[in-house]
Amino acid sequence: MRLFVAIIAIGVLAVASLFGFSWSRNPDAEPAVHASAVSFTLANPLSGRAWRGLACPHRTIVTNLAIQSVGPKLCGLESDGRARSRAERFRTEGPISCWSLFEMLDQQNAARFANVLSGKSEPGAQVNEICQKAKALIGP
C-alpha cells in the first residue's frame, strides 16, 4: 500500500511540476492554457515537439496565432491576418520551442476538426467558439 501511495504522490508531484514550469514560462496565460499544455505533453510523452512546446515563453501569443491560422480553413474567413507568417518567425528569430508549439497546435486543430474541414459533419459549438475567437483576433 505504501508503494502505491508513493507512486501516486510522485505522479501528482510530476504533474504539478509541469504545470508550474508552464506557468513560470508564461504567467499571464489562463490556468486552462497551462493545463492543456501539460495534458497534451503527458498524452504524447515521446513527442519532442510537445515537450519543447511546453517551454514556450509566448504560449498565449502562439495559441492565438494557431487559432487565427485555422480561421480561413474552418470558418471561411478571407485571410488569417498573416498569422502563419508571424508564427514562422519563431522558427528563425524566436525560441524554437514556440515554433514547435505552433506546429503542434496546428496539427491538433487539423485532426480535431478533420470531419468539419472535409464536410463529413456539421460545425458544432467548438467550431463556433474557434470561429468567434479567430474573427476577433483577425479583426475587420
Q: Taking Cα atoms as reference points, which of 61, 62, 51, 65 lies closest to residue 22?
A: 51
% of the chain exceeding 90 in pLDDT: 0
Q: Where are the domains of the chain?
A: 2-138
% of the chain exceeding 70 in pLDDT: 99
C-alpha cell at 9: 504522490
**Per residue in 103-120, pLDDT tens?**
888 888 888 888 877 778
**Per residue in 73-83, pLDDT tens?**
878 777 777 88
Backbone torsions φ then ψ of 77, nearest 5 degrees? -75, 155
Give the predicted TM-score (pTM) of the model. 0.71
pLDDT of residue 140: 62
